[in-house]
């Protein structure tokens, strides 16, 4: 006989946990639908870091600032600068993959 199944506190905790999970999933779905263009840009940035070699990333870092940015990249940056919520969603999405690759390449301690 399992006593804890009849315990009202366990049922409340289980319900609260499921409710919290449902809210988190809903928020994630809303964020994904809220900025579809940003999501595509973030996916491209993530893919670039995941498929680039460390040597390629070091070369890009050395070239940074020497050539003007493409028009589409400038527009994307302006879009992120003008919308703090979109910028936060973008950073939340790309931060871990970029940081991991930079760590692997010795670009951050």
The pTM assigned to this predicted structure is 0.65
- Is 31 within the bounds of a domain? no
- Is 87 within the bounds of a domain? yes
**Can you give the pLDDT of all 109 residues of the chain as single tens digits?**
555 556 665 555 555 555 565 666 555 655 557 899 899 999 999 999 999 999 999 999 998 878 888 898 899 999 999 999 999 999 999 999 999 999 999 999 8
- Is 79 within the bounds of a domain? yes
- Is 11 within the bounds of a domain? no
- Is 68 within the bounds of a domain? yes
Into how many domains does the chain fold?
1
Q: What pLDDT is stored for residue 109 in this prediction?
A: 83
- Is 109 within the bounds of a domain? no
Helices 36-51, 84-104: crossing angle, 10 deg rounding: 10
- Is 5 within the bounds of a domain? no
State which residues form the domain around 62. 36-104
- Is 20 within the bounds of a domain? no
Per the CB < 8 A criterion, the answer to whether 57 and 49 are in contact is: yes
Please give the structure tokens belonging to residue 77. Answer: 């940056």
């Amino acid at each position: 006989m399992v006593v804890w199944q009849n315990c009202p506190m366990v049922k409340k905790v289980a319900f609260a946990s499921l409710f919290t999970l449902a809210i988190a999933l809903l928020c994630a779905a809303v964020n994904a639908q809220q900025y579809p263009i940003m999501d595509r840009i973030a996916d491209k940035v993530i893919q670039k870091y995941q498929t680039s070699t460390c040597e390629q990333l070091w070369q890009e870092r050395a070239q940074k600032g020497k050539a003007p940015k493409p028009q589409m990249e400038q527009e994307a940056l302006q879009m992120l600068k003008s919308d703090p919520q979109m910028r936060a969603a973008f950073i939340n999405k790309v931060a871990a993959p970029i940081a991991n690759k930079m760590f692997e390449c010795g670009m951050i301690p």
